[in-house]
Structure formats: C-alpha cells, structure tokens
Structure 1
Amino acid sequence: MSILPVGKIPEGSTGSCNPDDGYEYNSKAERKVRTKIDISVLPMLCLGLIVFQLDRMNVASALTGGFAQDISVDQNTINLGNQMMFLGIIILEIPSNMLLQKIGPRVYIPAQIFVFGVVATLQIFVKNRAGFLSIRLVLGLCEAGYIPGAIYTLSTWYTRPELAKRVAVVFFGMFGGNAISPLLGAGILQLHGQRGLTGWQWIFLIEGVLTILVSILLLLAFPGSPTTRNPQALQGFIRFTDTDRKILTIRNLSENMNHNEKKPSRHRRRTIPLPVVWKTLLHYRRWPHYISTACVFSTWSPLTTYTPSIMMSLGFGRVQANALGAIGAALTLPIVFAFSWASDRTGRRGLCVIIAISSYLTVLIIARAVMPNVNDRWSRFGLWTVVNAFAVCYHPVHNTWVQVNCKSHDERSIAIA
C-alpha cells in the first residue's frame, strides 16, 4: 500500500486485467503512468495523423507544380476528385471503426497507415481524369476511420478530465500536416525533372514512402490499448510494468463507474452489434454534432485544397505561395490548444465548441465583407491566413464533447466515426 491513495479498484469489479482487490496508488505513480502514455501513445497517433493529412492534402502542392495540366483536367475535376475521396471516407468510416474493435488498434492502425501509404504513392502513375478520380476514391476508402479510430483509442488510455488536451495534441498532426505539406511541397518541387519524374510525382512518391515507413514504426512500437499495453517489438522503447497495468485498469474501471458507463467486454477484440450502430446514428441529440461538423468542413476542406493556389492567384511565386500557405495552418495550433485547455479546465465543453464555431463564423463574415474592397496582396493574404487559423479550432473539443456523453465504448466508437 502507498501513502496518499487516489485510486482503488472498486469491490466486485472485473476487467480485462484483474489486479489485486484493494490495490491503491498515489498521485506520483499515476503521473508516471500518464507520462508514459504521453510519450508513447500520444506522439505515435499524432505522427500517423501527420502522414494521413500529407497524403490527403498534398494534391494542393501538386497543383502548383502543374499536376492538373499534366493530366489534362480542370478545376471541376479536381473538386470532383476530392469529393470522391471524402465519399470513400464516408462509406467506410463506421465499418472501419467496427473493424478496429474486432482486430485491435495495435495491428489495425499500422496496417491501415501502410495501405493508404501505398495508395498515396501510386498516385505518381496518374495519367488522366479517370485515373485521378479512381485513385482519389480508393485513397478515401483506405483512409476512412483513421481519425475516429485514433481518437477512440486515445479515449481508452485517458480519463475525461485529461482527454480534450490530448485530443488537441493528436489533431496537431492534422493541422501540423496542413502546415508542413506546402513547405515540403515547395522543397520537393525543386526535384522536378530528376530521374525523369515531374515535381508533383516526387511529392506523391516521397510523402507516400514516408507514410509506409511510419506504418512500420507503429507496427513495431505502438502499444495499442491498456489491455495490450506493450508493443509488438521495441519493448525497451516504452514498457508498461505490472504496476502500471494495475493503475491503468483501476483508472478505466473508476472512470466507467463514475460516469455510469457500461463496462467494456472482457475480451480485447469484440464486435459492435448492429443495433448499437443504429441507435447511435439515430440519436436525435447527436445530429446537431453531425450537422455542425458538415457545415464547418464544407468551408474548411476547399481552403486546405486550394490555399497554395489562392496564394499564387494573389501574385506570389510557386515556392513562396506554398510557404505562405503554411502560416495559417501553423497558427491553428495555439488556437486549438487554447480552446481544448479551456474545455478541460472548465468542463464547459459545449460552451467552448459554440464559442469556437462562432469565432470562425465571425472571421468568415468579416473576410467576405472586406475582401472585395482590398486590393493589396499582403492584406488579402492576411485575411486568408486568419480564416485558415480559425477554421477548425472547435474540432478537438467537439470530438471530446461527443465522447464524454456516450454511455459505452461501442457507442463512443460509432459516434466519433
């Protein structure tokens, strides 16, 4: 027994791990376990989201390298290709999360990253409209479920008061990917003509291979879940001890009981029943979440696709346009973390989401009103940058808000998807 106990396994409770009844731990021991999660699970999921976003949005940099002209398509086709990609994501988002539950995140997440990394690499062979539309659809199908799967996996490691800040850190991968992508694109485009490849082919090749390497790293080193806490290999990298296992189990069981959440199955791998899927989808209180997400992404998604092209239309050169396009995405990071910190600190997640979305709407209205009267390219650049910075500042808090109102792990998994 340790002094100053802050956690104790509830009497009569059972879980996938069975620590000794009455085991207690102090705040120092809990902080040690949480630090292990922070330096293993958290950065790996974030890294996966960085390459996910690179593969999804690097077409923006490819467009500044003559991609559309080389495959003889117009802007409408680029728009349609991106719609096909998101259609693929929509089709398999929920099935992918159901498969995650069946296989387990330690294997499923690295395997998914590997598959969409291969598909992203194959974009170097695109020659025409049909090839572009087909591969964007396949890319969307392969990427479906990664974000909700990663966020759900995160929720199995952390308690509710800890979650929003960590979700924000994982989403730094998405926003960081948006910031890194144009910078990488600007550099990679300089390889144009090397070994017979165009600049945009080098973008797809290098970033696709990078994704495959990340998938191998996660396969070897990713812990997966508190019940499969040690990785497939590289166990000396971060190793959770038996004492850590007991603390993780107590934290999860206490969290479930404190919030009247149904305990997960004793089995690590399980199937989500279809009635749970339909109940979650049809729950009327969740539809405002779904609708607001669709509304925000309908404006943000085109921005991420065309920001470098917009910068070029303002009169900036190709390399400069890609570099300037990264600034708005970089400014997203502190704004996102500020809302997430406030959410965890106050517990007023709904209010934080409403304020964040309202801030974005205000910025959009101001930009729409001012833009026609601004002729200076740097002023226009400033407006676009502010819009990009506030576009998805609500998203991590919104994900957390949805999760904490779910009554079971299965419901949580489907709701996030």
Structure 2
Amino acid sequence: MDLETEAARSSSSISSVDKAQANPKLRKIADFQVLPLLLVAFASYQLDRTNVSSALTGGFASSISVDQNTINIGNQLMFLGVIILEIPSNVILHRKQVGPRFWIGGQVLIFGIIAAAQIFIRDRTGFLVTRTILGLAEAGFIPGAMFTLSQWYSTEEITRRIAIFFFGMFGGTAVGPLFGAGLLRLDGRGNLSGWQWIFLVEGLWTIVVSIVLLTFLPERDKYEKPCEEDESSGREKSPTPKIPTKVIFATLFNISKWPHFLATASVFATWSPLTTYTPSIVMGLGFSRVQANALAAIGNFLTLPVVFFFAWLSDRTRKRGITVMVAILTYLIALICLRTIQSHVDNWSKFGLWTTTNALAVGYHPVHNAWIQMNSKSPEERSIGVAMFVMTATAGLMAGTQIFREEDSDKLYPNGLLTMIGLVILGLILTGLQEFIYYVQNRKAERHGNHTALNIL
C-alpha cells in the first residue's frame, strides 16, 4: 500500500476531524485545557533536558570530574535514546487502551523522576548512564503531543497552535537559566551543591506536572459521543487511528519529503551548543554565575515573539515554505555577524551578538513542523511524519553537541561558529529544494486534473 492509496482510505478521517473541530465546545476544551497542559509539559521536558547548562556554571563538571567533551558525549547519548524509541513510543500512543492522557502523563512522570535522580551523580559513568536513560524516557513526547493537538485543530488552525505549543520548549529554555540563577544561591543548603538543587527542584516540578496531566488532560474521543448536534449532522467519531506497518515504511521511504527532514537536522543541530554553553559563554565575559544565567535567559525569551511572528507571517501570507526560508536566512545573518564581529568588540557587544543569535536560532522550527503536517495525506502519515521530524531534529541536536569543543572555547568558538554557518546554509538549500519538489508535483497534478493531490507551498 503506497501513500496515495492510504491517503484515499483516510481522507474521510481527516475531514471528519476538521468538521468536529468546528464545534465551539471542543475548541474551548482544546484552547483552555489541552494546549496549556501540553505547553507546560513541554516546558518541563525542556527544563530537564537543558538544565545541565546552568549546572555547569555551578561547578557540576568539576564535582563529578568530567570535562566539556564528556558533557558533549552525555548529551549525545541522551539524544540517541530519544531517537531509538521515538517511533515505537508514537505507535504505542495510538493504541486505544492507552491514549494520550496515560501515555503522555506517565512519560512525564518517568522522566521527571529520572531528572530528579541526577542529584546522585558522582562520576563520569553515572552521568553517561543517567543521560541515556533520560533520553529513552523522553522519546515520543514531542510527536505524541503534536499528534494529540492535531486531533483537536483543523489544518488551518494548526500552525499557530504548534507555534504556541513550541513556546513550551523555548519558554523552558528561557526560564531555565533564571531558575538556575536562583537555585544556585542555595549552594550548601541541606548539604547539597547548587547544581544538585537545580536537578532536584526542576525534577520535582516535572513530577507535579505529570500528576496534573494524568488527572486533567482531556481525551479527544470522549468528547464526541455526548455531542448530539455532531451526530445529527453526520459527523463521524474520530478515534486515534492505528498505524499499519506498511504506512510506517511508506512514510519513511517517501524520498520526496526527505529534504524536510535533512534540513531540520542540519539547522537544528546548531541550537544544541547554544542551549548548553550560552550561560558559560556569558560567564566567560566577566559576569558571575548568577548574572550569567540571568543574562543568558534574555535571548531565549526573545525567541518567543520571534517564533510567534513567523507563525503569524506564515498564516498571513499562506507561503509556508518561503516563511521557513526567511526565518532560516535571518538566523544565518545573525551567525555570520557573530562570527565576523565578536573578536573586534567589547564584552557587552559580544553579549548582544550572542543574545541576538539565540533569539533567532529557532524561529523557523514550528512553522516548518506545521508545513510538514499540512502536507500529510492521512492521520497516519501525519503522525509518522511528525515522529520523523522530531527524530531528525534530535539527530541534529545529537550531532550538534560536538560543535563547541573545549580547545576552541578561549576565543568563543570561532571554528564552531563556522561549522554552524555551513550547516544553516545547507538547511536553507534543502528547504528551497523541498519547495521546488512541491512546485513540480503540483504542476504534474494540475496537468492530470488531480487537484486533491496538491501540496501546500
């Protein structure tokens, strides 16, 4: 069974979902329960994944006797764990007896416990093992949450909601250094180091979030049957579809969409060193560890309006691919300026350059994800496509952990920045290639009068 056959089989499922999403009652539940809960969970997920950056400014590496390159390896193992279980986790989510509430809520509970347990790390082995287990526990959360959102919103609504959902990721990255700055002040309290307080408090917070999810996250199909007005109008119930193995392989080997995923890996790889080492870079400019964490948060907070702007631009122009390319281009310009100017300016100017780069680093990411979802021909393809997006993004992050090397740190990573520039240029080219492929496919479909097969450019 190829994707076109599967699309024909599932087209009624997509349309029925979109019709049901027009119900004001369901929209209210989605906007005020589902989306906020998943956003907070995403922020917790990101806190637990990236709080090692604040821990490093509190002497974490020296406490467990590891160097920067070992920290990079630990993060690589974490991302590898995510990749290994990404699709299996997403398939389990689709089992009727599981569902989003118990699978996503249970997953958040597990990685919250693991995150808190990092206070017991004493050596290199403990660090590497814990990071690997954390990655395995986090696998599937992002595609599972995004697929859950797609069951509540129409294709016309999903871009802005995905952008809001990603506020959790980027918001977690933003508040992480601020929390780190405060928690580092507890250094020595209760016989715990500052970095231990970071892992403990943020892990416990995630556990609390998991309990809220397990209690309050709505299940989509439970709101269908009571809606008599939907039944009378002929709307079908939209349960979470099972994913046939043939659809998984057909989606994986649909090479016409590989530029999406290769571009994602290429550009997103450059965000990995920024999230891990920006607080340390700022501290190297002469600021205290508390000041460095607070200042590092500024660029991440600026990410939020940047993400929302590109989501708005995408919806306003309806040019999804062009919007992604413009967002990547602005990030590329910031990187080039940082690489060429920072060695000639004072420390505050360097801080401004790094802040700008952080602010523009991921503006393209949610729009790109929504673009992929919009061009999925069935719910099953959409689910696997999102999982592939997250897997390739995670693969990029895994590779990106090695961009900033310890031997390059004294000069603020000029070689690493050059690598990042090359990766972003590659991602921009691949995005343009994907736009061209969609254009050619649309021309071919129009010649054959098959307007239902048109891609969204």
How high is the TM-score relative to the length of structure 2?
0.77
Name the CA distance, whole Å, in 2 between partners of 1:83 and 1:248: 51
Q: What does residue 9 of structure 1 align with?
A: none
2:178 pairs with 1:183: yes
Name the CA distance, whole Å, in 1 between partners of 2:177 and 2:131: 19
Name the CA distance, whole Å, in 2 between partners of 1:68 and 1:301: 18
Quick one: structure 1 residues 269 and 15, their matched pair in 2 at CA, closer, same or farther if it must change by over 3 Å?
closer
8 A Cα contact 1:157 1:248, kept in partner: no
8 A Cα contact 1:55 1:117, kept in partner: yes
2:293 pairs with 1:322: yes
- From 36, 43, 64, the counterpart of 2:36: 43
CA displacement 1:287-327 (0-9 Å, x = unmatched): 11111111112111110011111110111111000000100
Per the TM alignment, residue 247 of structure 1 is displaced from its structure 2 partner at its CA by 10
Name the CA distance, whole Å, in 2 between partners of 1:392 and 1:382: 17
| AA partner of residue 329 (structure 2) | S
Quick one: structure 1 residues 269 and 196, their matched pair in 2 at CA, closer, same or farther if it must change by over 3 Å?
same
Q: What does residue 364 of structure 1 align with?
A: 335
Name the CA distance, whole Å, in 2 between partners of 1:206 and 1:14: 47
Per the TM alignment, residue 245 of structure 1 is displaced from its structure 2 partner at its CA by 6.0
2:341 pairs with 1:348: no
2:131 pairs with 1:136: yes
Name the CA distance, whole Å, in 2 between partners of 1:249 and 1:385: 53
2:227 pairs with 1:242: yes
Per the TM alignment, residue 267 of structure 1 is displaced from its structure 2 partner at its CA by 8.0
| AA partner of residue 311 (structure 1) | V
Per the TM alignment, residue 384 of structure 1 is displaced from its structure 2 partner at its CA by 0.4
- From 370, 374, 385, the counterpart of 2:355: 385
Deviates more, 1:45-54 or 1:354-363: 354-363
Partner of 1:272, secondary structure, is coil
- From 184, 203, 209, the counterpart of 1:208: 203
Per the TM alignment, residue 346 of structure 1 is displaced from its structure 2 partner at its CA by 2.5
Name the CA distance, whole Å, in 2 between partners of 1:15 and 1:215: 30
Name the CA distance, whole Å, in 2 between partners of 1:243 and 1:45: 28
Higher helix share: 2
Name the CA distance, whole Å, in 2 between partners of 1:165 and 1:403: 13
Q: What does residue 391 of structure 2 align with?
A: none
| AA partner of residue 143 (structure 1) | E
The number of residue pairs the alignment matches comes to: 373
- From 55, 59, 84, the counterpart of 1:62: 55
**Fraction of identical pairs, as percent:** 55
Q: What does residue 267 of structure 2 align with?
A: 296
2:385 pairs with 1:415: yes
Q: What does residue 437 of structure 2 align with?
A: none
2:222 pairs with 1:228: yes
2:396 pairs with 1:402: no
Name the CA distance, whole Å, in 1 between partners of 2:201 and 2:233: 39
Partner of 2:152, secondary structure, is coil
Name the CA distance, whole Å, in 2 between partners of 1:247 and 1:298: 50
| AA partner of residue 189 (structure 2) | Q
Name the CA distance, whole Å, in 1 between partners of 2:364 and 2:372: 12
Per the TM alignment, residue 372 of structure 1 is displaced from its structure 2 partner at its CA by 2.0
8 A Cα contact 1:104 1:268, kept in partner: no
Q: What does residue 107 of structure 2 align with?
A: 112
| AA partner of residue 349 (structure 2) | S
Matches within 5 A, 1:67-82: 67-82=60-75
Deviates more, 1:350-359 or 1:209-218: 350-359
Partner of 1:371, secondary structure, is helix
Q: What does residue 255 of structure 2 align with?
A: 284
Name the CA distance, whole Å, in 2 between partners of 1:315 and 1:31: 54
Name the CA distance, whole Å, in 1 between partners of 2:233 and 2:271: 37
8 A Cα contact 2:248 2:384, kept in partner: yes
Partner of 1:40, secondary structure, is helix
Name the CA distance, whole Å, in 2 between partners of 1:171 and 1:213: 20
Quick one: structure 1 residues 59 and 331, their matched pair in 2 at CA, closer, same or farther if it must change by over 3 Å?
same
Per the TM alignment, residue 242 of structure 1 is displaced from its structure 2 partner at its CA by 2.2
Partner of 1:73, secondary structure, is coil
CA displacement 1:187-239 (0-9 Å, x = unmatched): 011111111111111111111011011000011100132x1349xxxxxxxxx
Partner of 2:156, secondary structure, is helix
Quick one: structure 1 residues 305 and 214, their matched pair in 2 at CA, closer, same or farther if it must change by over 3 Å?
same
Name the CA distance, whole Å, in 2 between partners of 1:148 and 1:182: 26
8 A Cα contact 2:13 2:379, kept in partner: no
* CA-based RMSD: 2.5
Name the CA distance, whole Å, in 1 between partners of 2:268 and 2:26: 36
Q: What does residue 408 of structure 2 align with?
A: none
Partner of 1:161, secondary structure, is coil
Quick one: structure 1 residues 188 and 309, their matched pair in 2 at CA, closer, same or farther if it must change by over 3 Å?
same
Per the TM alignment, residue 268 of structure 1 is displaced from its structure 2 partner at its CA by 3.5
Name the CA distance, whole Å, in 1 between partners of 2:292 and 2:12: 57
| AA partner of residue 328 (structure 2) | I
| AA partner of residue 357 (structure 2) | V
Name the CA distance, whole Å, in 2 between partners of 1:277 and 1:284: 13
